[in-house]
Amino acid sequence: NAGVTQTPKFQVLKTGQSMTLQCAQDMNHNSMYWYRQDPGMGLRLIYYSASEGTTDKGEVPNGYNVSRLNKREFSLRLESAAPSQTSVYFCASSLQGGVDQPQHFGDGTRLSIL
Amino acid sequence: GDSVTQMEGPVTLSEEAFLTINCTYTATGYPSLFWYVQYPGEGLQLLLKATKADDKGSNKGFEATYRKETTSFHLEKGSVQVSDSAVYFCALSSSSASKIIFGSGTRLSIRP
């Protein structure tokens, strides 16, 4: 009963380093999402993938890239980390991107950029 | 564009008090509305949803009614418990987009 699994749970990087956040879901969902959560700002969508083979920018895509590796996996990459990217990152999935489809979330990755 | 506005927190209540967290929305078309809850150190979990006007979503003693005339989806609970302490997010999913738009969240703390 894993649902959405994110790795790692915690990470500290130095400015300029690169890193990939991993996300996998076992619910056979078509759509997957990456959010960042910052104090007082709720969740902001970084990128999403409506279906395998497609990706689209969300509200705050700058400084990030994504890969929908297969139906299960959707990774988020920081090519050159900046202190402004210090945040909690959440991956989510839904059966499809329809109007009444809720999203299922992982437990998050807490990322600090020094 | 579509948006969600919810009351700012933090909200602090005593155990067994009545809870209301206000949420209003702006959207084209006919959105579905959600409340999510986030417990400390965890991701968001769906609490309840409503997919059309006048629908009432309910779960774990929480309720919210989809009011199209006032574009609102206020969360209520008649008697809160310490275990309800969490951050609550109102959200909408509109027919014009394949994603969910979240409000900024309301932190709720319940005193024993």
pLDDT tens, position by position, A41-81: 788 999 999 888 899 999 899 999 999 989 999 999 999 99
Question: Cα(A40)–Cα(B89) distance, rounded to whole angstroms?
Answer: 12
pLDDT for residue B93 is more than 90: no
- Nearest chain A residue (CA) to B47: A102
pLDDT in tens, B36-92: 999 988 889 999 999 999 999 999 999 999 999 999 999 999 999 999 999 999 999
pLDDT recorded at residue B96: 61
* Interface membership of B57 toward A (CB under 8 Å): no
Percent over 70 (pLDDT), chain A: 96
- Which of A45, A15, A13 lies closest to A32 in space, CA to CA? A45
- Which of A31, A104, A101, A28 lies closest to A68 in space, CA to CA? A31
Are A42 and B103 a contacting pair, CB within 8 Å?
yes
- The model's confidence at residue A95, banded by pLDDT at 50, 70 and 90, is confident
Which three-class secondary structure state does DSSP give residue A106? coil
Contact A108 B43 (CB under 8 A): yes
pLDDT recorded at residue B95: 64
B residues 64-103 lying closer than 8 A (beta carbon) to A: 89, 93-95, 97-100, 102-103
Question: Cα(B7)–Cα(A25) distance, rounded to whole angstroms?
Answer: 32
Question: Cα(B112)–Cα(B100) distance, rounded to whole angstroms?
Answer: 34
Are B19 and B86 a contacting pair, CB within 8 Å?
no
E-only strand ranges, B1-112: 3-6, 11-14, 19-21, 23-26, 32-38, 44-50, 56-59, 62-65, 75-77, 86-93, 100-102, 106-111
Question: Cα(A47)–Cα(A80) distance, rounded to whole angstroms?
Answer: 17
pLDDT in tens, A17-26: 999 999 999 9
